[in-house]
């Protein structure tokens, strides 16, 4: 069955335009029928660049088109839940950027709509599609190194995003650590309890709205394993993305990629390259793979690999982390999800 899936992209900002380009260049399984942005001129510029013929300002136009089977939502977070509901109601399959929403109520309404409409939903946890993290997953799941004991994730951005973004981002635990919460579930399983500490050590302006730039979150998993995630908003040597699943009979470690493989040796020692600058570079192949997989799931009517429940659980853990931080105590997931 080699038919192409008709898809439209809603939201053509930073992430959206990456998805648009990937659909055009790298995902022959899809036919990009149209793109849409409330800022029409933004969508038009993208369309011109990539030779896309149909551009809309109002996504309802796309939802009304019966030839479009699926939508990719890459608008700002506060619009995700509403668009999901509309798209589900229109019977479209949905790929939505993370997070589904910052508020659990919104997430739940969106998921209910998806369930009622019997459409597919995949959430954009791109890191699940990284070949190194997938290999770790494969090794751990195979049982060849025993049972998981300790998960360690280091996730550090190269530099802070703009303050205006940070103010509406949901803060460290819902904007940045949310990737790690999903990765933790992907690698080790369900989380039962969270404890979070953090501080403002880089950008004092974060204190104005109670955000953090340096955090550690410890996790207890349902299978007895434990984990620690450390996050920072500023790693001057590049985008630091490391992962280890330590098990009873061995360990699986994913190290950083680097800009080049070169080393310069001189009287000071050996200087190796910095890490890739940021997620656009580091995870470029993942953005392709996640959408390709979604398209194939739609085409072949298979379940998507990152579900609405996955999207929801990461938000739940994010809220638990904030609650833990504010109340200075470990917080059980059941406090949110009894």
For the range 41-44, what are the long-range contacts, defined as Cβ-Cβ under 8 Å and sequence gap of 24 or more?
Answer: 42/12, 42/13, 43/12
Smallest separation, CB 78 to a copy of itself (Å): 30
Smallest separation, CB 97 to a copy of itself (Å): 23
* Contact range with a copy of itself by CB under 8 A, out of 7-15, 38-46, 53-61, 208-216: 208-216
54 binds a copy of itself (CB under 8 A): no
44 binds a copy of itself (CB under 8 A): no
Strand, coil or helix: 5: strand
Handedness of CA 229, 122, 164, 274 (dihedral sign): positive
Find the helix or strand (DSSP H, E) in which 322 lies.
Answer: helix 308-327
Residue ranges of E strands in 134-249? 148-156, 191-199, 214-221, 226-232, 240-247
Q: With respect to a copy of itself, which residue has the nearer C-beta, 60 or 264? A: 264
Q: With respect to a copy of itself, which residue has the nearer C-beta, 134 or 307? A: 134
Smallest separation, CB 141 to a copy of itself (Å): 13
**DSSP β-bridge partners for residue 331:** 194
132 binds a copy of itself (CB under 8 A): yes
Instruction: Report the first-to-last Cα separation within the chain, whole angstroms.
Output: 43
199 binds a copy of itself (CB under 8 A): yes
Q: With respect to a copy of itself, which residue has the nearer C-beta, 93 or 137? A: 137
Strands 148-156 and 30-36: unpaired
**Which residue in the block uniquely carries the two structure tokens 């949110």?**
336
326 binds a copy of itself (CB under 8 A): no
Smallest separation, CB 41 to a copy of itself (Å): 20
d(C-alpha 239, C-alpha 227), whole Å: 21
Size of the site for a copy of itself (CB under 8 A): 70
Q: Residues 232-271: x/- map of binding to a copy of itself (CB under 8 A)?
A: x-xxxx--x-----x-xxxxxxxxxx-xxxxxxxxxxxxx
Q: Residues 292-321: x/- map of binding to a copy of itself (CB under 8 A)?
A: ------------------------------
Q: List the one residue out of 326, 324, 116, 157 whose CA is nearest residue 239.
A: 157
d(C-alpha 180, C-alpha 124), whole Å: 13
User: Which chain residues interact with a copy of itself by CB under 8 A?
Assistant: 25-26, 28, 49, 131-132, 135-136, 139, 144-145, 147, 149-150, 152, 154, 156, 195, 197-199, 201-202, 214-216, 218, 220, 224-228, 230, 232, 234-237, 240, 246, 248-257, 259-274, 328-330
């Amino acid at each position: 069955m080699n038919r192409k899936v008709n898809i439209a992209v809603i939201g053509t900002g930073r992430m959206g335009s990456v998805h648009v380009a990937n659909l055009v260049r790298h995902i022959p399984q899809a036919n990009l029928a149209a793109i849409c942005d409330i800022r029409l001129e933004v969508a038009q510029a993208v369309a011109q660049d990539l030779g896309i013929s149909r551009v809309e300002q109002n996504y309802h136009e796309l939802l009304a088109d019966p030839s479009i089977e699926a939508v990719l939502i890459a608008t700002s977070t506060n619009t995700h839940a509403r668009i999901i509901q509309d798209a589900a109601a229109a019977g479209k399959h949905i790929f939505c950027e993370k997070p589904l929403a910052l508020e659990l109520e919104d997430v739940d309404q969106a998921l209910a709509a998806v369930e009622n409409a019997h459409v597919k939903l995949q959430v954009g946890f791109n890191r699940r599609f990284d070949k190194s993290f997938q290999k770790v997953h494969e090794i751990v799941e195979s049982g060849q190194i025993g049972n998981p004991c300790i998960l360690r994730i280091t996730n550090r951005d190269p530099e802070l995003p703009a303050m205006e973004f940070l103010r509406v981002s949901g803060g460290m635990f819902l904007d940045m650590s949310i990737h790690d919460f999903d990765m933790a579930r992907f690698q080790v399983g369900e989380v039962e309890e969270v404890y979070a500490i953090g501080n403002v050590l880089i950008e004092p302006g974060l204190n104005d709205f109670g955000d953090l730039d340096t955090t550690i979150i410890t996790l207890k998993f349902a299978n007895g394993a434990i984990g620690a995630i450390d996050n920072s908003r500023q790693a001057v040597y590049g985008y630091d993305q490391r992962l280890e699943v330590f098990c009873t009979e061995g360990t699986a470690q994913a190290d950083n990629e680097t800009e080049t493989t070169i080393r310069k040796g001189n009287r000071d020692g050996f200087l190796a390259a910095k890490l890739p600058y940021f997620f656009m570079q580091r995870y470029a192949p993942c953005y392709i793979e996640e959408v390709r997989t979604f398209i194939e799931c739609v085409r072949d009517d298979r379940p998507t690999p990152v579900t609405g429940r996955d999207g929801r659980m990461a938000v739940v853990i994010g809220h638990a982390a904030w609650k833990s931080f504010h109340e200075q105590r470990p917080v059980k997931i059941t406090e949110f999800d009894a």
